[in-house]
Structure formats: C-alpha cells, structure tokens
Chain A
C-alpha cells in the first residue's frame, strides 16, 4: 500500500473510531419521549412531565398466573416482600388485607383531621342528632357489622364519610386475602418504580429485578409452575427497545447481504466490494455520533431508519467504481463528481429542513440522514480514490446496453399514458384527502395488538383505568398546592354531584392543608360542652350518652393533636397516594387530581364543562389523550410544511445549478410523479399515511433527484457512456434493497419508511428514464 493510501486509511480509521466512541457512549431509548415536543405549551408541559416522571409511566402491573389461588397468594406475599426489600420501588401493592387494615387504622386515628363532613355545625345538638341517627340506621344495615366495633368511638360516622368519599369505590377483586383478577385466576400486584418512566435502562433493571424476585419468591415458598406476566409503560419501552435492536440487526444483515451480493455480481473482485463498505460504515457511525452529540439520547427508531440509509450511502461508491474505470479518476471527478455533489447537496437540503422541527424524533432523523449521507459522500470522494488503486473498467456488454436502450425507448412511449394516470391519481387523492392521514399518534407506537390487549386486561383487573383526565394545580410550597387542590376539589365535588364526573383523586383527602385541618379542629367542642349537647341530642334516640365516653375522649384528644403531616402517613398506602399525586419542581409544588369519567358518558369528560367549573381556582384541566392528539396534529402539519420547504429547497438548488427552466422541469417532473404514484399506491393498499410516510416521500425526492440528474448528465455526454446508466440501475437496486428491507419490520414506523422509499426509488428511476430527454449521440 502506498503511503497516501495508508494516510487516507488512517485518517478514515481515526475519524471512524472517534465517531464509534461517541456512538457507543450515547444513550439509546425507545420510550414515548421520542414523541414529546421540545418547546411545550403549559398543557404539553404537564404531558411531558407525566410521561417522563409521572406516576403513570412508573407503574408496572404484575399478574401471577397458573397454579392454585392459595399458591398464587403465597407467592404474591413473598414477592411483595422481595420487591420492597429491593429498594427499587416506591410502592408495591398486592392488596394484602393486613396492610389495608393498617391504612384503615390510620384513617380512624386521624378521622377528625380528615373527615370532609366536619364543618362548624357538625357537633352542635342538631348536627350530632342527625349524624348519630344516621349512624344508628347504618348500624341496622348489612354494613352495620363492619361499623359496630367503632361505633362508640365514632358515633357520627366520620370513618364512613371518609371511606365512602374516596371517589373510586371500585377495588380489585381479591382471593386468599390478596388482589386477584376479575375471574380470580391470577394474583395481581401493582408497583411503582423509583426510576423515571423515561429512563429505559432503569426500567429494564426494575423489570429484571421483578422477574428475578418472582423466581426467588416461588422458590422460597416452594412452589413451582407459576407464571409471571407484566405490563406497563416501562415494560413497553424496554420491550420495544429490545425489539428495535433485534430488528435493526436482522434487517441490516438481510439488506447488507443482498447489497453485497449485488455488488459481487457487478464487480466480481473483492476489493471494490470491501471498499464499498467504507462509506456505509462511515455513514452509520457519523449519523449515530451526530445525533448522540446533539441530543444525548438516540432513539431506537432513528437508528432503525438510519440502517436503511445503507442502501443510499452505497450509491456514491457504486457511481465511483462503475464510472471512473474507463474514464480515469481525473475525468470522473471533473465530469461526474459535480452531479453527485449536486445530488448530495439536494439530499442534505431536504433533510436539513427537518432539523427545524419541534418534534425531536423528526429532528433526529433529519440530523442522522444529513450526517450519514454527508459522511458517505465525503468518504467516497476523498478516501476511496486513495485506497482503490487502479480501477478496472466495468464492462457493460453491448447486449445489455442495447437492452437498456430499448427499454428506455419503450418507457418514453408511455409518457402520455403515465401522465394521464398521474392526473387520475391526483384527482382521486384530492377527493380522498380527508382519508389519507392517520389522525392518531398511537399509529407511531411500537406496541402491538396483543400487548395492548394484555395491558387493557391487567388494567381492568386492577381497576386502574388509563388516567386520561387530570387537573393540575400549583403552589409555591406543598401547603399552598394542597390548599389549591382543595379549592379545585370543591368545584369538582359539584361536578360529581351533577354527574359530570364519577369522582376524582386528591392528595388533600389524606393530607388536608393545615388551614383545613385547623378549621376542622375549630369545629370540635370541649368535652363538657360535647357531653351536654349529647344529652340533648340523644333524647329521642335509642342510645344513651353514657355509652359514648370513648367518643368524647377522642374528640378531646383531637382538639389538642398536632396537625397531620406527611410524616404521620409514612409507610402506608395513604403516603403513596399522596406522593404519587404531588410533585416538587424547581419552582414550587404541583398537585395532580386525576378525574374518573362516568360509565354512563362512555368514559368521556366534557372539557369545556370542567374548564368553566375550574375558572378562578387556578386548576388546569388536561385531557392527556386530547393533548396527545393535538400534539400529533401539530407535528403532522409542521412536518408537512417542513417537507414542502425541503422540496422547495431541493428545487431551488436544482434551478440554481442547472440554470435552465426546461432542464429543471424535466428533472423535477419524475420526482413529483413518483411521489403521487407512491401515495396513491399506499392509499390503494389501505395504508393511512403518517409522519414517517411523509419522511419517506421526502427521501424519494432526495434520492430520486440523483437519478434524474444522472439521466440529465447522460444526455449531455459527448460520447455514449453505458456505465452511467448501468451504475444508476445498480444504485437504484441497492437503495430499494436497503429501504425495502424495512418493509419487513414489525415496528410500524420503520415499516412505513420501507413501504414508501423501497418502491419509490424504483418508480423514480423508471420515471426519470421516461421523462428525461435522450442524448443526441
């Protein structure tokens, strides 16, 4: 190897190793943050927080399957212990009745601080009479058995007020004293990870810990044959990351093998084949490294998408190896490099627009493509020639060349029919324009139907509905935020009464603001006063005041008790409920109040009604799904604008360098037609277009412009150059293979790109052959 070659190789190697180092140190993620806006509105901010750190995304649902109910319950209890000991979870719940008893005892002990029924009139003669009469009635009812043990301490029924006021009356079913599925065939647990939902690595650790703990638990209690199923946002993120990783590996292997096979057929020598891999590797490394540097986290989808760029980055070396053999390097650089250069510039121009996107996923794809295509082109231009040595001309046999000629002749006769077809397709698409786009962000999700169904089942079993509706209130400190939650709560109570919502959760139920606690304390009478009032109040009731000494003592104690604090709740499920719904931020505190929709309204909550009710309370009502849909809608329209800008940029670039309206028109027409045909084809197949299809279309224009430019170049050759057309055929084939392989993916987003660009590349080549005028020679 000559020294310039060695130097070129060493430079390449050094650059690639640095890129590789950066790439390997980047974090890879596959969670929902791919979809989160970089410049959120206040509502979207809540969405982002919920998805990154919110309790909802830190929740995992566990189901112990198979075996007997008794065995499942035993493992559930043991697993509970193991998980709590692991320290990875802020909450582990299995509905163990003993723990629920502890919660109930806490509620009873603090009932005079917690009961919403305590107001100034509650312990007057009239208030006592009506409350106690009510309790006596309750005592006579079937629920009386539960109340009897506490009756003399709590004759006014504050505990009943507390328990029935808890909003969501539904509890999961239970068997053998622990939570079970509705059919009783699975023991259920619900855990909340300490790590954020957006931390896929942390979620993976948590899930592995759960599986390990399950095995250990089953072993510890000596039971075998039970199974563990789990679901939840973290599980989805971990799974889809694994799936994307696996698919990227498989699909890259398939496409590289196919491409290398094609190259082997063409070159029939190992050296150009091996060298063709350099731009590919450079492109991938540069893409990942650029994204890693710019964003810190690389989304799995970005890498998957990038793998398809293999097919495009190999094009440059294909042009080089096939075209420079006969003409020599200098002539190639002079005649052909400008065309490739223009092609690369148009591609970069197209992708560059995506960088402006407020949708981080899209911006990443843009940056990845830009860096990848740029690196591949640079390596082809500056590194390959040094390493390639003398390039043997690729002999295109006259028979093949004539065949190509005849094919182009035949294609060019089809110009008018194809134009007519394009017109029909355009009219049809215009009439179907409302049906073209998928309105829902869920289409980008990597969760498949089976997983979604399992998730729905577990949610239903745990009575844990998707928290779609939220009210958020803020305050400078926890006290203020809790007070704000109580203000909003009073308005929500009216909505519950009116049947607009079924109920809501609030941390203020278990941890009322100090002001509320003081107000309740002020309503508690002195012991002597209470005794007198009871005498009068009980005159007509079948209960003598002498039995209520425990009640009088409890009230007396409550009058001097310090206010209830978060620390008093420590270790209970009540503390978990409070913590899950309060959030400390850099500035102040936020409180979340999840709303429960009513079954009658088909689990829908009218946004305007709630917003009006909350006006003036500082409560912000958010419909997370609505917010998501809006977000997706804004991404989509933004992406359409950016793609159009990208296309406009490409056209400008062409106009500027070709300097002839006629040439620009002939170079552009095939691209526009290709886009129309691809959209029509996808629509015909029943595919609803989404963001990634759009990116695919942009790619078609970027890739296709290379072909049309080369046809245009070919027409201007002083003498026939059969290797130009042959090299284009090969380049198209490899591009179609690279992207087409993505169509095999089970990840919808990647599949969309494959379905769009794979056929699109071939169609644009054919159209370029059809519409670009022939050479005169």
Chain B
C-alpha cells in the first residue's frame, strides 16, 4: 500500500511540472517522439475567388522525420510527396517537381508543417515566432512568420493537437483566403 502510494506520488511529482507550465520544449519532445503512421484528413479551403469552400479528403502518411505523403482521394486524386528537400506533386498526367532548397519561401512554408510534425524547434524558429497555448492534451501552437517575404503569403499558421498528435492545421493567408485541415489518426498497421 505504501509502495503504491509512493509510486503514485512519484508519478504525480513527475507529471506535475507538465501541468503547471506546458512549454514549447515539452511539446517539441512529445512531437518528436511521435512514431509516424497513417491518418485521414479533411481539408476545407475558403477562397475569395470562389463562391463556395473547396473540400477535399484523403490520407496522409508520415515517416519521421523527413518523409510526408499526402494522397488526396476526393474530389480529384492528387499525390504530394515531400522527401527531404524534394517536393513532388502529381495530378493526373501532370507532375511537378520542386527542389525546396532552391525556393526559400516554399521551404519555409513546408518547414512549418515538417518542423511541427518532427518537433524541430530550431527549424520553426528560423522563420516563425512561436506562441503556445493550452495544455499537453489540448494545445495550439501559433506560427507567425518573421521573414517579411513569407509574411507576404501567410499571416499565421495555427497547429493544434493532443500530446504528440497533430489534429488540425489552419492557414490564414495574407489575401484573406484560409484553409483548415483536420487530421484523424488511423490505426497504424
């Protein structure tokens, strides 16, 4: 009994700081320990040009730390693969290959997702000011671009999640268009 109590106490003590002040370092640690795997997503885009939002669905697969695959299944099949610094976009017969190292802005944009998923704080802080709110179970990390060239496109990126799992990513673009993506983890095979 005493043993059980002391174990509980010890656990409580260990857990205590996390509850008291959930900080970016801890979030990054949690994110970095995420083993990767498969998730489904629903992405909703609001474009000023269009009268109705665009909704797309599909699956994502994340293999930490450098490979991210996003397969859109509806309405138009499309595959986006980010492997190290190469971004490949395939839509039907069209194939686009982008070397991210050549495109600093695109790189910064990609780093916002990749840095968050992999829990790489330095990569994020290179281009964004970070602001964290919430608790370990329900956090929201806001990225504000510090580079004016990126700020021309993106006003803010809000990533929220629970533990090491990202559940939504919202982009607020400089021209008022915005998009949000909800991510639901699937059972990892």
A137 contact set on B, CB distance < 8 A: 54, 75-76, 78, 91
In A257-281, the 8 Å CB interface with B consists of none
The reply to whether A175 and B101 form a contact with Cβ atoms under 8 Å apart is: yes
In Å, the complex CA distance between A7 and B97 comes to: 80
Residue B99 at the A interface, CB < 8 A?
yes
Q: A137-B75, A175-B102 are in contact. Are A142 and B89 (CB under 8 A)?
A: yes
Q: Which residues of A contact B101 (CB under 8 A)?
A: 173, 175, 184
A143 touches B96 (CB 8 A): yes
Asked if B94 CB lies within 8 Å of chain A CBs, one says yes
Cβ-based interface call for B47 (8 A): yes
Known interface pairs A137-B76, A140-B56; A151-B95 also in contact (CB < 8 Å): no
Q: What is the chain A residue whose CB lies nearest that of B47?
A: A139
Q: Is B51 an interface residue (CB 8 A)?
A: yes
Question: Does B49 lie within 8 Å of A173, measured CB to CB?
Answer: no
Q: How far is the CB of A107 from chain B (nearest CB, A)?
A: 16
A625 within 8 A of B: no
For residue A152, which residue of chain B has the nearest CB?
B49
Q: Is the CB of A143 within 8 A of B89?
A: yes
Which residues in A have their C-beta under 8 angstroms from that of B56? 140
> Is the beta-carbon distance between B50 and A543 smaller than 8 angstroms?
yes
Tell me which residues across on chain A come within 8 A of B87, comparing CB atoms.
142
At the interface, yes or no: B153 with Cβ under 8 Å from chain A?
yes
Q: Which of A164-172, A204-212, A427-435, A608-616 contacts B (4 or more CB under 8 A)?
A: A164-172
Give Cα A141 to B52, complex, Å.
16
Given known pairs A137-B75, A142-B80, A152-B49, the reply for A164 and B102 (CB within 8 Å) is no
A542 within 8 A of B: yes
1/0 per position for A571-610, CB-CB distance to B under 8 A? 0000000000000000000000000000000000000000
The answer to whether B89 touches A151, judged by C-beta atoms less than 8 angstroms apart, is no
Q: Shortest CB–CB separation between residue B54 and chain A, in angstroms? A: 4
B45 within 8 A of A: yes
B41 to chain A, nearest CB (A): 13
Chain B contacts with A in 46-105, Cβ cutoff 8 A: 47, 49-54, 56, 72, 75-76, 78, 80, 87, 89, 91, 93-97, 99, 101-103
A residues 18-50 touching B (CB-CB < 8 Å): none
Whether the Cβ atoms of A169 and B95 lie closer than 8 Å is: yes
Give the size of the chain A interface in residues (CB under 8 angstroms): 27
A547 touches B97 (CB 8 A): no
| Cβ-closest chain B residue relative to A149 | B175
A351-390: contact bitstring with B at CB < 8 Å (1 yes, 0 no)? 0000000000000000000000000000000000000000
- When C-beta atoms are compared, the residue in chain B nearest to A141 turns out to be B78
A145: nearest residue on chain B (CB-CB)?
A: B153
With A137-B76, A140-B56 in contact, do A543 and B51 touch (Cβ < 8 Å)? yes
A151 touches B49 (CB 8 A): yes
Q: A139 near B91 (CB under 8 angstroms)?
A: no
**Cβ of A141 and Cβ of B49 under 8 Å apart?**
no
Q: For residue A767, give the distance in angstroms from its CB to the closest CB of chain B.
A: 65
Main secondary structure of the interface of A (DSSP, over half): mixed
B87 CB to nearest chain A CB (Å)? 8
Taking a contact as CB atoms under 8 Å apart, the answer to whether A173 and B102 are in contact is yes
Complex Cα distance, B99 from A174, in Å, reads 8
Which residues 148-171 of A sit at the B interface, judged by CB distance below 8 A? 148, 151-152, 160, 164, 169-171
Measured CA separation A344–B183 after assembly (Å): 91
Which chain B positions have C-beta within 8 A of A164? 93-96
The answer to whether A139 touches B99 (Cβ under 8 A) is no
A169 and B47 contact, CB distance less than 8 A = no
Provide the bound-state CA to CA distance between A184 and B94, in Å: 27
Residues of chain A within 8 A of B97, CB atoms compared = 169-170
Give the CA-CA distance A169 to B93 in the complex, in Å. Answer: 13
* CB of A671 closer than 8 Å to a CB of B: no
Q: Does A136 contact B (CB under 8 A)?
A: yes
Q: Report the separation of the CA atoms of residues A152 and B97 in the bound assembly, to the nearest whole angstrom.
A: 25
Q: Smallest Cβ distance from A598 to chain B, in angstroms?
A: 13
Report the bound CA distance from A139 to B75 in whole Å: 13
B78 near A544 (CB under 8 angstroms)?
no
Interface digits, B130-148 against A, CB 8 Å rule (1 contact, 0 not)?
0000000000000000000
Quote the shortest CB–CB distance from B179 to chain A (angstroms). 8
A631 at the A/B interface (Cβ < 8 Å)?
no
A139 and B80 in contact, given A170-B97, A173-B102 (Cβ under 8 angstroms):
no
B100 to nearest A CB, angstroms?
10
Give the docked Cα–Cα distance between A134 and B45 (Å): 16
Check B51–A542 contact: CB distance below 8 A.
yes
Q: Is the CB of B89 within 8 A of A140?
A: no
Is the pair B51, A544 in contact by a Cβ cutoff of 8 Å? yes
Q: Assess the A171–B99 pair: CB atoms within 8 A.
A: yes
Q: Is A140 in contact with B54, judged by CB distance below 8 angstroms? A: yes
B19-67: which residues lie under 8 A (CB-CB) from chain A? Answer: 43, 45, 47, 49-54, 56
Chain A residues with CB under 8 A of B75: 137
Of B94, B95, B101, most A-chain CB atoms within 10 Å:
B94
A174 lies within 8 A of B102 (CB): yes
A138 beta carbon closer than 8 Å to chain B = yes
Task: Tell me, in angstroms, the Cα distance from A171 to B78 when the chains sit together.
Answer: 22
- 16 A-B pairs with CB atoms under 8 Å apart are A136-B50, A137-B78, A140-B56, A141-B80, A142-B89, A143-B96, A148-B49, A148-B175, A148-B177, A152-B49, A164-B93, A169-B95, A170-B97, A173-B99, A173-B101, A173-B102
**Which A residues are closer than 8 A to B by beta carbons?**
134, 136-143, 145, 148, 151-152, 160, 164, 169-171, 173-175, 180, 184, 542-544, 547
